[in-house]
Structure 1
Amino acid sequence: MNDASVPAQPGFRLARGVVRMLAGLGHAPLCEFVPAPGQRVDVISVAPSGEIWIVECKSCRADFVADRKWQGYLDWCDRFFWATDCDFPAQLLPEGDGLMVADAYGAEIIRPAPCARLAAARRARILRDIARTAACRLIRLSDPEAFTGPLPD
């Protein structure tokens, strides 16, 4: 079966599965979010409890080895997860982080992520930025000409 809604790129396929799983858990996930200049997380999600989760999708060894920006993402979440496919060499990933195994249709939490609670001011800022970004993306879908100025990523 050829599903045109499934992205061709492996990282986007993983993110799609992660989003589906998180949505099923009652989260509000958002892909390709910029918490700070120079950073772009694959998936950020607001849990029903208000926790902020970041999931970084890695499709292969080279993808993981080449990307060291992820350490800066830890300052923007309560819980940090890696998402990989079932063939990824999981021993490469730091043991102290959460781990999900995903494909384009879903994901499973293999190792829970420890909680490192965000400071109140940081939480307020990130929640505001997530809400603004999500709202602007939704408006852009329904009315692409609504904005004349710059939009949040």
Structure 2
Amino acid sequence: MTTLTLGTPVPDFTLAATSDTTFRLSDFQEKANVVLYFYPKDSTPGCTTEGQDFRDAYAEFQAADTVVFGISRDSLKSHENFKAKQAFPFELLADVDEIACKLFDVIKLKNMYGKQVLGIERSTFLIDKQGVLRHEWRKVSVKTHVAAVLAAVQALV
């Protein structure tokens, strides 16, 4: 498995996306910066807040030539419901086979109700127009996260 490091190109990958689309990282090369935010589960409190924060700042991301995508292991059907309910202007990617999760190494051992389970560690990655990983945020705290990502995006322009 490839370990991603800052300043190096991110290997191309493809995932099913909401709105009956397919996400392919290489489709954005030379066109837009890409923010990929990994979250544990659709319609849970922290994930809803994080998605709403990205939604509310979406126009600012667009102004900085950046597209935003949320990724979890949930199904496309679950994603479609979550996206519609929260009026997200961006697509959600279904990583049911953990392709991107493994590439970005976001599957971690977590404690849930006294049991250890493998789950997504809330993480965000900023990839520039050349396909190079520019920033990563791991163990994200939802409150100030989107503002920090937006500042990093705006610094690329």
TM-score (norm 1): 0.28
Structure index of larger Rg: 1
Q: Which has the higher strand share?
A: 2
Q: Tell which has more relative contact order, 1 or 2 (C-alpha 8 A, sep 6+).
A: 2
